[in-house]
Copies of this chain bind each other. A is one copy, B any other.
Amino acid sequence: MDISPEIIGYLAATLTTGSFLPQAVKTIKTRETHALSLGMYSMFAAGVFFWLIYGIYLSNKAIIIANAITFVLAALILGFKLYNTWRGKE
């Protein structure tokens, strides 16, 4: 049996993005962000954004898809965090 190496990329993408999803969806639903560090989360969101740019440069679909999904969720969560911080809720 011959496994395409691209499958490894899609498997990796599904696992890392999948492991991030439940917590992200929960945070988006509850808008509870007090447990998140603004500094660390900003760093994470910026990092995912640069992986996305790098994936586009490499024309690598697995990297683009994984980081596009993660970036949208991370940016939403960061938005709630900033809003909560600005409103003085935490």
Interface size range on A against B: 20 to 34
Pair A15/B44 contact, Cβ less than 8 Å:
yes
Pair A16/B62 contact, Cβ less than 8 Å:
no
Residues of B with C-beta under 8 A to A18: 43, 47
Interface check A54, CB cutoff 8 A: yes
A interface residues with partner B (beta carbon < 8 Å):
5, 8-9, 11-20, 22-23, 37, 40-41, 43-44, 46-51, 53-54, 57-58, 60, 62
Pick the 4 closest A-B CB pairs, nearest first.
A15-B47, A16-B47, A12-B50, A19-B44
Pair A40/B53 contact, Cβ less than 8 Å:
no
Q: In the complex, what's the smallest C-beta–C-beta distance from A73 to chain B, in angstroms?
A: 14
Pair A15/B46 contact, Cβ less than 8 Å:
yes
